[in-house]
Amino acid sequence: DVATALNDRGQVRYLRVEFAAAVQDFTAAIECQPGFEVPYYNRGLVRYRLGDFDEAMKDFRKVLELNPQFEDAALSLKQAILDKEEKKKRGY
């Protein structure tokens, strides 16, 4: 389906370090199928990697709302919270 294809293309772009394009694809996949948790997770990973911890945490929380058993999202959320706190402690 379209949402899966967009998510897959986003993955390829992520691996090519084309982060802005990857986020666009994951967002488009979400718009096509709002109940599909995987593109939220993938978009969260990109946002995390870019240091946008607040937006990453929103995505990871949405994943867990849709699928409470998604363990990687729970781990990623915990890590984003820790990294945000560490960034704040260091003053940047």
Determine what percent of the chain is predicted with pLDDT higher than 70. 100
The yes-or-no verdict on residue 91 having pLDDT over 90 is no
Q: Give the span between the Cα atoms of 44 and 58, in whole angstroms.
A: 8
Q: pLDDT tens for residues 21-64?
A: 999 999 999 999 999 999 999 999 999 999 999 999 999 999 99
Q: What is the CATH number for 64? A: 1.25.40.10
Q: Are 40 and 30 in contact, with CB atoms under 8 Å apart? A: yes
Q: Give the span between the Cα atoms of 40 and 42, in whole angstroms.
A: 6
In this structure, what DSSP letter does residue 34 have? T
* Tally of structural domains, the chain: 1
Domain enclosing residue 74, as ranges: 2-91
Q: Give the span between the Cα atoms of 29 and 11, in whole angstroms.
A: 12
In this prediction the pTM is 0.95
Q: Give the span between the Cα atoms of 84 and 70, in whole angstroms.
A: 21
